[in-house]
Amino acid sequence: MKRIFSLLYFQVLLAILIGVLIGHFYPTVGIALKPLGDGFIKLIKMVIAPLIFCSVVLGIAGMEDVKKIGKVGAKSLIYFQVSTFVAMFLGVAVINLMKPGADMHVDPNTLDTTDVASYIDSSKTQKGVTEFLLDIIPENVFDALSSGDLLQVLFFAVLFGFGLSQIQRRAEPVIRVMQSFLDGLFAVIKMIMRLAPIGAMGAMGFTIGKYGVEALSSLGMLMLAFYITCLLYIFLALGLALGYYGISIFKLLRYIREELLVVLGTSSSESVLPAIMGKLERLGCSRPVVGLVIPTGYSFNLDGTAIYLTMAAIFLAQAQDMPMDLGQQLFLLFVLTITSNGAAGVTGSGFIILAATLPIVGHMPVASVALVFGIDRFMSEARALTNIIGNTAATIVVARWEGELDMEQLHKTLR
């Protein structure tokens, strides 16, 4: 019994349950717990940028064939696009089959848009593709590290890693210092993860206390459809992709169960990014592949977010008796592949992207996003879980694709 209580995943699961009970029976106390969840996520974000920078630089500098980095990046982007389209097509199929909004008959003029006004305003200044690509190049390296812009950090890390590989022996002192710094970061992360149960309890207590379980009933069918789609994507799409290489999706999920529970409690996939990177390396994926695929995937491979945005847009059309035909739905998928990347890393990006997309793909008023605001927080857990599982699977597939995965070590670790 004592051993069970010492396991992190059991502690997090217990903390989530306590958070739910506090939020339900003592909502004021639950709302007051919000700083605990916010503080834990800030602690994790504090080390993400330097961790990615050191991991990528050391990985590239230590590679014998640096040309592989370009191949890994290209294959990653190809995989991201294919997996995102599969996720969105599943979303379209399920939402059209279940039609959760067909019987709602909502008048958009009666919706209260007070809570979503800021998101609607932000959608008007949404970045285009060109501006998004130019923003990947940092104006100041230290500013990119301090602000935690993952794509900018990754861009400079790749260049710096290439630079160190060119000067060979002269780079050895720098490499030794960075390796020691990286070891220190992992020690810090290990200490921070001990606080995961407290962070999960605070975040879950706030969610239930603020929005209440009553918010689930009115839009329950949409949530059910969304959860079903996420499960189909994880066990069908990702299960087949991993199964092609003889890897069990069930064993993989068991391997990362602690991280999944932390994500469930905090509603943030970033909260376990360092831990997932470490586990993927121990699983047999090479450091350069892990360092490239995971950070890039956090901007270009948000499968859970893609499913949510697709289903939410079609649901709003159904609820307002403004159904979208097949052509409009296909156009929606095309637009979302652009707008979702343009808002990568933006706080509240789900609502911003949705508000920016609606005027482009149909005749629905932007204010209609207020209809799904009440349950957005309850769907964020499934989004974050699907995102982290999708990026974990992507790293393994790309590593295997590129011959940078030790299959013997992987099977041994999963057993």
CA 49 to chain centre: 16
Confidence check: pLDDT of 406 > 60: yes
pLDDT band at 251 (very low <50, low <70, confident <90, very high): very high
pLDDT for the residue 344: 47
Q: Can you give the pLDDT at residue 120?
A: 55
Please say whether the beta carbons of 287 and 223 come within 8 A. Answer: no
Which residues contact residue 385 at a Cβ distance below 8 angstroms, ignoring those fewer than 6 apart?
230, 260, 263, 264, 269, 304
Is the torsion defined by CA of 184, 185, 190, 195 positive or negative?
Answer: positive
**Confidence (pLDDT) at 394:** 94
Continuous segment of H or E residues that includes residue 304: helix 303-319
* Lowest-confidence region among 55-69, 74-88, 184-198, 389-403: 55-69
Q: What's residue 397's pLDDT?
A: 94
Which tokens is 203 given? 């975040």
CA distance linking residue 126 with residue 263, whole number of Å: 27
Q: Cα(388)–Cα(402) distance, rounded to whole angstroms?
A: 21
Check residue 347 and give its pLDDT: 44
Tens-place pLDDT, residues 269-280: 777 888 898 899
Which of 113-127, 243-257, 292-306 is predicted least confidently? 113-127
Q: Is the pLDDT of residue 117 over 80?
A: no
As a whole-number percent, the residues of the chain with pLDDT over 90 amount to 20
pLDDT at 343 > cutoff 50: no
Mean of the pLDDT values across residues 39-53? 84
Domain span at residue 232 reads 2-414
Residue 166 is part of a domain; what is its CATH number?
1.10.3860.10
**Average pLDDT of span 217-237:** 88
* Model pLDDT for residues 133-179, shown as the tens digit of each residue: 777 788 887 877 777 777 788 888 888 888 888 887 888 888 888 88
Q: Quote the CA–CA distance of 375 and 342 in Å, as a whole number.
A: 24
Q: Which of 36-45, 113-122, 232-241 shows the highest mean pLDDT?
A: 232-241
Give CA–CA dist 25/36, Å, rounded.
19
Q: What is the DSSP letter of 248?
A: -
What is the overall mean pLDDT for the chain?
Answer: 81
The answer, yes or no, to whether residue 349 has pLDDT greater than 70, is no
Higher pLDDT among residues 54 and 389, named by residue = 389
- Give pLDDT, residue 47: 84
Given a cut of 60, whether residue 218 has pLDDT beyond it is no
The reported pTM is: 0.81
Burial of 325 (0-12, 13-18, 19+ CB in 10 A): exposed
376 pLDDT higher than 90? no
Q: Count of domains in the chain?
A: 1
